[in-house]
Amino acid sequence: MKVLFLTITFLYSCLLVSAQENDFYNRLSDAAIELTGSKVKYDPAYFSIPYPNGDVPADKGVCTDVIIRAYRKVNIDLQKKVHEDMKANFSKYPSQKKWGLKKTDTNIDHRRVYNLETFFTRNGTTKPITTKPEDYQPGDIVSWTLNNGLAHIGIVVDRKSKDGKRNLIVHNIGGGQVMEDCLFAWKIVGHYRYK
């Protein structure tokens, strides 16, 4: 009888944790969708911003700012998280090799796709890259290599494409913070979940 009680208790706690995780990712999805209501001009300029909880001007941004802002709405400061991980593990990040940098920069490090990919790989869950729409769930982070070779990143949300087959993506590729059916528009190179 005691074993049965412990088994039921364990299963209940697993279901509770799973429900809490789903709630977090649903809130992240909602936060990303909420961002689409703000008018934002695509602007990749370097800005000096406060640390922690710094942000570029609210009417400006790039694809990474969508990720940063959505996570801020669920009380996670990726500027701080990325900075702390980079500071402790600088050689693991592409800043040294790709841009020849010698130290971290709280103004821009979290605004680079390659750094976010490294951070999510190191601190989150790396999910399989597939061609199955159902493998991409609300709250997942997806990164791509665009046709011109540039890196891009967005958030999967709980809204569906017109044909009902794919979850939509909130991203900023030049037209502001928008929600679009673009999951398979470019080559997917990263698929993550981070809480």
Residue 21's pLDDT is what?
79
Angstrom distance (rounded) from CA 140 to CA 154: 9
Is the pLDDT score of 17 beyond 80? no
In 3D space, the residue among 186, 64, 167, 77 whose CA is nearest the CA of residue 117 turns out to be 64
Question: Helix or strand or coil: residue 194?
Answer: coil
Residue 19's pLDDT is what?
58
What mean pLDDT is reported for the chain?
Answer: 92
Q: Hey, what domains does the chain have and what are their CATH numbers?
A: 2-193 (3.90.1720.10)
Q: Which neighbouring-strand residues pair with 61?
A: 42
Q: pTM of the full predicted structure? A: 0.90
Contact yes or no for 155/170 (Cβ under 8 A):
yes
Print the SS3 string covering 15-70: HHHHHHHHHHHHHHHHHHHHHCCCCCEECCCCCCCCCCCCCCCCCEECHHHHHHHH
Question: Helix or strand or coil: residue 178?
Answer: strand
Amino acid letter at 125? T
Please tell me the number of Cα atoms within 13 Å of 167 on its side-chain side: 24
pLDDT, mean of residues 53-69: 97
Is the pLDDT score of 48 beyond 70? yes
